Amino acid sequence: MDSGLILAIAPDSGERYLSTPLYSEKEAPSLHFYNTLSRSKEPFQPLKQGEAALFVDGPALHANLTLGMARRLVLADLVQRSLQFRGFTIHRLVSLIDVDDRAIAGAEAAGQDLARFTTRFREEFTEDLAALRILPGGHFPLASRHMDDMVDFTRRLLERGFAYEKLRSVYFDISRFKDYGRLSRLDLTKIRVGKTVDLDEYAKENPRDFTLLKRAKLGELKKGIYYTTPWGQVRPSWHLICAALALKYLGGAADFHVGGIESLFPHEENENALFTAATGKPLARFWLHSEHVLRDGRPLRETGEVTVRDLLAQGSRGEDVRYFLLSTHYRKPLTFTAESLAAAARARARFDHLLLRLSLTEGDDAPTGALEERLFQAKKEVTAALDDDLNVARALSHLFNLAAEVNADLDRGRLGKNGAAAVKSRLAELDEILGVMNPPQHMRDEAVEARLAEREEARRRRDWATADRIRDELAQAGIDVTDTPAGPRWQRR
């Protein structure tokens, strides 16, 4: 038969059929993201089949990674992991700003040269990313090493008439770019020019134009913080840095631009104007924005920053911070308090406890169809939630429901080691996207185990004083002991 209609009547409303690969392979790609450009959720179609390029506005290297920036990077990581889970190859680019005003001021205050000052923060940034379980790889270019690219970029704009030089600074001519304001939805005729900028510092033809290359000040010249270009001794603007890095490393347009909502205007508007003027194409198709992290109802920038490094130093685990940042939808403000971070840590630990329990499960069982279906359903629920603009909270609620059911089964002895293994591998699979779980490590430490054997011996003698003393000693050494019917378990804090 070449064509025709096949009618099948399924006894269970077709649910089994619908859950088979036969059906799911034909499903259209269903990833949806909220695109700030259109202010609506849109289905994702890659520019290049099977690949996706992500541009992430990275940090200025004058201080440690703050929670706000961490939220943005965790969002980018979630996008990356979701796409990788769907089989995409990801090209990620994170810009590192090491020539900005605050870094210069910080270096001066610290009595260090700029490169040394920023190198420390770059190294610590890398460590913090690892703690947050942000996938390694991709490009993390330093602005200061790409002056040539910025000069080329500027030249291109000058040639095309989008920029002009004035008194040894180079500015972008906004009047030449008709789409200016489209991304941030700002009506240029209604903004209050000069309210937040000291226009006397600039020699722009139009106060709304923005700087590409800014003439170095006397103090900067003295310290050697400038770059020699055909237009003079200058420093590049943040906007130019990002646009030039995107062009160099991604070649063309990105699929995603991930930024913070606070830099939508002017930075992203400018970055996009530059890129579009130079290449004829917008910088990205999808513009994703993480909302603020607040404290006392105010952005952290106003109330005092909280850094990831601080939290780790205070004893938080990186995965707890990640979970905290992830568990509220990225487009809603997130209020930081020590209590809410602790609540997140306890919630996250439920998964670790379940994984530990599963790994201790003994007993033979045959895999049951009911369990397989339940696990398949969990995967469907979780991926569907994430496909809907990265709804992590909904995805987690499905996982907690599964965890409760599995725990109840374990309580009633309804799960043997085969079933336990099936649950474990499904959780591990889904955690490839979330990155918040810790499968139990089989730790060997003869000294610890010898002490535990002593304690078990004491307990057998009902010598509780000795048993408790050993437990306290191990606790002092950072080792938590938990008694279970199968014997004592221990874990390093």
Partner RNA sequence: GGCGGCAUAGCCAAGAGGUAAGGCAGCGGUCUGCAAAACCGUUAUUCACCGGUUCGAAUCCGGUUGCCGCCUCCA
Give, as ranges, the residues between 75 and 114 that touch RNA (CB under 7 A).
97, 100-102
Residue 245 structure tokens: 């890095």
Residue (of 144, 148, 146, 170) closest to 159 by Cα position: 170
Element (H, E) at 455: helix 446-460
Q: Which stretch binds RNA (CB under 7 A): 45-53, 122-130, 314-322, 332-340?
A: 332-340
Give me the least distance between CB of 21 and RNA, in Å please.
27
Give me the least distance between CB of 146 and RNA, in Å please.
13
Task: State which of residues 12, 178, 218, 346 lies at the interface with RNA (CB under 7 A).
Answer: 346
Give me the least distance between CB of 116 and RNA, in Å please.
19
| Contact positions with RNA (CB under 7 A) in 110-139 | none
H, E, C per residue of 400-438 = HHHHHHHHHHHHCCCCCHHHHHHHHHHHHHHHHHHCCCC
Binding status of residue 265 toward RNA by CB under 7 A? yes
- Alpha-carbon 308 to chain mean position: 13
Binding status of residue 378 toward RNA by CB under 7 A? no
CA distance 44 to 324: 27
* CA geometry: angle 275, 280, 284, nearest 5 deg: 50
Shorter beta-carbon distance to RNA: residue 10 or 338: 338
Give me the least distance between CB of 188 and RNA, in Å please.
5
Binding status of residue 407 toward RNA by CB under 7 A? yes
Binding status of residue 178 toward RNA by CB under 7 A? no
* Burial state string for 337-356 with b = 16 or more CB within 10 A and e = fewer than 16: eeeebeebbebbbebbebbb
Number of residues that bind RNA (CB under 7 A): 91
Binding status of residue 298 toward RNA by CB under 7 A? yes
Task: State which of residues 26, 39, 444, 493 lies at the interface with RNA (CB under 7 A).
Answer: 39
Residues 6+ apart with CB under 8 A from 179: 273, 276
Task: State which of residues 347, 360, 421, 448 lies at the interface with RNA (CB under 7 A).
Answer: 347
Shorter beta-carbon distance to RNA: residue 90 or 274: 274
| Contact positions with RNA (CB under 7 A) in 52-71 | 59-60
Strand-pair partners of 90? 52
Shorter beta-carbon distance to RNA: residue 52 or 334: 334
Binding status of residue 197 toward RNA by CB under 7 A? yes
Q: Is the peptide bond before 141 cis (omega within 30 degrees of 0)?
A: no
Give me the least distance between CB of 268 and RNA, in Å please.
10
Q: Which stretch binds RNA (CB under 7 A): 1-9, 151-159, 365-373, 476-484?
A: 476-484
Amino acid occupying residue 108: E
Give me the least distance between CB of 174 and RNA, in Å please.
6
Binding status of residue 342 toward RNA by CB under 7 A? yes
Residue whose structure tokens are 């090493």: 145
End-to-end CA distance of the chain: 66
